[in-house]
Amino acid sequence: MINAEIMGHGVVGSGVAEILINHSDRIAEKVKDEIFVKYILDLRDFDNLSYSDKFIKDFNLILNDDSVKIVAEVMGGVNPAYDFVKSCLLAGKSVVTSNKELVAAKGAELLKIANDKNVNFLFEASVGGGIPILRPMSQCLAANKINSVTGILNGTTNYILNKMIVDNMAFEDALKLAQEKGFAEKDPTADIEGHDACRKVCILASLAFGRHVYPNQVKTEGITSITATDVEFADGFNCVIKLIGRTEMLESGKITATVRPTLVSRDNIISAVNGVFNTVMVSGDQTGDVLFYGKGAGKEATASAVVADMIDCAKHLNARKYLFWEDGDDDYVVEANEPTRLYIYAKSENYENLLENALALFGDKASYIKNKFKGEVAILTDTELESDLLEKANKLGADAIKIMHTLF
Ligand code: HSE
């Protein structure tokens, strides 16, 4: 019997407890041993559960219990999760977590401690919920040099954007619905401002390229400024708007890392990923593009990934799974200036002048959607160096302007 402990009994934590307790036979068959939930740490009272006797409020009970070999941290947030996880690793316990905020901020340090202590620190559930992505990327694609990772990494914003596109809902109404359905984080800011996706990009980039990328190094933009007008213009260009997280290795050995609303062509398979579903496309030098797809949020899907990591820890109590990346540095992540197409929305009281400038600057290879009545023009540019396109956009003479990247 292998004793395990769960820190946190929220949405994901209760899912983890239910799988481990209700499906203990199935899990024992796979591990060839029983994973026994000895404690569940939570400050709240849970009196009416079949496993209420397992709840404790004192972290030291776990830390000082040498029989506890595997700890699942599903509390969320950096503190106190960081102290608890670090202490458990230092005490020689394997730790698994769904906590992307923790891994994005402290991953390199915690992996190093796990390495030194010869225990596991696994976090499959931190990116893409139930989608297996970190393990396949580090193991199944190990023969590749990874060139880029691109994806829809936040279910809440994908749900909101989809509602705006398909049901013509306003942003605020779609957000309210997402909250009612329980998709959004406690504080929806992390979802709609792109912070949640940013943390996932950090983890993907760190694993793909071997050096830690910190949240403040990812150029992050949320979806709060997306309007029904943008959605309509995007549709006119045969595109949908998605919150895209992306990291790419440049020839210089530096990388880019971004999260931003992006016009995705309907010809690109990523455009078809809707609702709370996530997708991650990994581009390897040997495999080409490999696409992962599944539920990126939700109790059961996320708990499934946490329990899978616990099973892996149980199977590898004495033989560490190799997962590692180096610490990062300040000038490792850069802003790229590459040939691209941009979406430019511009509005002016002097509409005729705006239109004339647009045509003169972007020429007939760009596509235009005009709304004379509102004084608006949307431009889908031809492929040019990004800095050149931005310079031209500055010369449009618009009263209001919005620029988005594209994915074809
Ligand atoms: N709020 C997150 C999302 C949960 O919507 O994707 C999973 O990380």
pLDDT in tens, 226-250: 999 999 999 999 999 999 999 999 9
Question: Amino acid identity, residue 312?
Answer: D
Which helix (H) or strand (E) element contains residue 246?
strand 239-249
The dihedrals phi and psi of 272, each to the nearest 5 degrees, come to -90, 5
Are the C-beta atoms of residues 195 and 221 closer than 8 Å to each other? no
Question: Is 372 labeled as catalytic in the residue annotation?
Answer: no
E-strand spans in 317-383? 339-340, 342-347, 367-371, 376-380
Which atom in ligand 1 lies closest to the alpha carbon of residue 278?
A: 6
The whole-angstrom distance between residue 127's C-alpha and the CA centroid of its chain comes to: 5
Q: Tell me, what's the pLDDT at 297? A: 85
SS3 (DSSP) at 396: coil
Q: What is the pTM of this model?
A: 0.96
Q: Does the Cβ of 296 fall within 6 Å of ligand 1?
A: yes
Q: Does the Cβ of 82 fall within 6 Å of ligand 1?
A: no
Q: Does the Cβ of 196 fall within 6 Å of ligand 1?
A: yes
- Within the chain, which residues score under 70 in pLDDT? 184-186
Q: Tell me, what's the pLDDT at 71? A: 98
Q: How far apart are CA 41 and CA 5, in angstroms?
A: 8
Q: Does the Cβ of 158 fall within 6 Å of ligand 1?
A: no
Q: Does the Cβ of 129 fall within 6 Å of ligand 1?
A: yes
Q: What token pair was written down for 231?
A: 């959605």
Q: How far apart are CA 10 and CA 188, in angstroms?
A: 17
Distance 162 CA to ligand 1 centre (A): 15
What region, left, alpha or beta, does residue 374 occupy, with left being phi > 0 and alpha being psi -120 to 50 degrees?
alpha
| Alpha-carbon separation of residue 208 from 149, 178, 216, 294, 330 (angstroms) | 8, 31, 18, 20, 18
Which atom in ligand 1 lies closest to the alpha carbon of residue 183?
A: 5
pLDDT in tens, 373-390: 999 999 999 999 999 999
Which atom in ligand 1 lies closest to the alpha carbon of residue 126?
A: 8
Q: Does the Cβ of 312 fall within 6 Å of ligand 1?
A: no
Distance 338 CA to ligand 1 centre (A): 30
Distance 202 CA to ligand 1 centre (A): 15
How many angstroms separate the most distant Cα atoms in the chain?
77
Which atom in ligand 1 lies closest to the alpha carbon of residue 98?
A: 8
Q: Tell me, what's the pLDDT at 105? A: 98
- Per annotation, catalytic residue among 38, 54, 93, 200: 200
What are the DSSP calls for 161-226, one per residue? HHHHHHS---HHHHHHHHHHTT-S-SSTHHHHTSHHHHHHHHHHHHHHHSB---GGGSEE--STT-
